[in-house]
Amino acid sequence: MGVREAVTAAAVAAGLTIDLSRIEWLTKPVGDADPSFAPVEVDKGVAAACCAMAGALLAGDDQCGMAAALVVLSARMGQVDKHADDRLNAAAHNCLWGIQRAPLPEARFVRPASKGAPEQLKALTDALATGQVANLAAPLNALLTGMIEAATTRDVAIASAFDALSTRQLALEEEMKMHWWALGKASTELARPFLALPAFEAAARAAFELAAMVSAHRPAGPFAAPALLEQALQTADGAENEKQTLASAIVSIPLAVRQKLFARKPSSRVVPGAFPIMLAAECAIDSEDEDDWKPRFRRIANVDPKMTVTPNGFAQQLYRELLLWTMLPA
């Protein structure tokens, strides 16, 4: 199973709108085993099968589990339908937290033991002492072979320790960069404080900038990501917690800024509804902010554009969507 299949199973389990053909990889084997299972649409039976699959994925700690977790958490923004299993939300949080808190490789070097046996060294010494040149070859060959094997083992151990050390150093640099970015409360791209920007533009930029700091060797990002976003967006008057409708939040970001930030097209992905904020931005841009984008968005994403959201919540949701985007094949 790949990431695409994990995403589609989790999407159905979380109640997102998806075409039945997207999950034939799951329904066909079940139908072959049980002829009575012949769905013509995503119904309770299909949802139950997908819930079971999503539950198994969320019990793991690999890329498929991470992708499934991000889909489930993104889907919580909307009004999930009656097929969704509420227990998936807790499982998704636990899965993502487990991946984020996984320990880094330990940088240890243990000097390998010499492979030259004492009896071989003695045999070589005796042959040299007695002048028996014919007896030198066997112990000398054994000693040289042991030295070569020990050197090879040592080099592998050094390389392994260096790789682990490099990974730990990169992780530390990444975390320090995020920490100072959050303390600075400013957009790296604009070199301007977030509080000088419209609240939801600041939230969008913060999500994009934090997601860009997440490295490939730790794709789940930091466990403290929500706190980092909150800290970066924190203002003296608490504007980061003031609610607006999702539609108002989207159009409050200047159109030119949105066109630059939201260049990705979630409508082209296998599960557009897994990217509600990105999809809302796409729909609004395509309609040039005319109101006709709202019903289209609601139909695809299963999210009410009138739902309220804070800049903090907006940033955290968009950040999750950006992490998921990097995992999906084009």
Nearest to 241 by CA among 172, 312, 174: 312
The pairing of beta strand 186-187 with beta strand 192-193: antiparallel
Cite the DSSP H helix spans in 131-212: 137-184, 199-212
* DSSP three-state, residue 82: coil
* DSSP three-state, residue 186: strand
The CB density around residue 1, as the number of other CB atoms within 10 Å, is 13
H or E stretch including 322?
helix 311-327
Mean pLDDT of 243-272: 92
The DSSP output letter for 192 is E
pLDDT in tens, 86-130: 688 889 989 988 888 887 777 777 776 665 567 666 666 776 777
The pLDDT confidence band at residue 83, using thresholds 50, 70 and 90, is very low
Cα→Cα distances 71→90, 194, 246, 322, 323, Å: 13, 28, 19, 11, 10
The number of C-alpha atoms within 13 Å of 261 and in the hemisphere containing its C-beta is 29
Asked whether 74 and 16 are in contact (CB, 8 A), the reply is no
Q: Which position has the higher pLDDT, 104 or 48?
A: 48
Q: What is the DSSP string of 234-271?
A: --TT-GGG--EEHHHHHHHS-HHHHHHHT---GGGSS-
pLDDT in tens, 276-306: 999 999 999 999 999 999 999 998 888 899 9
Which residue type occupies 186? Answer: A
Asked whether 116 and 104 are in contact (CB, 8 A), the reply is no
How many whole angstroms separate alpha carbon 294 and alpha carbon 292? 5
Nearest to 101 by CA among 93, 111, 109: 93
The two tokens of residue 136 are 């030198």
* DSSP three-state, residue 28: helix
Query: Does the pLDDT of residue 272 top 60, yes or no?
Result: yes
The two tokens of residue 129 are 């002492």
Query: Does the pLDDT of residue 241 top 90, yes or no?
Result: no
- Residue 107: the pLDDT is 75
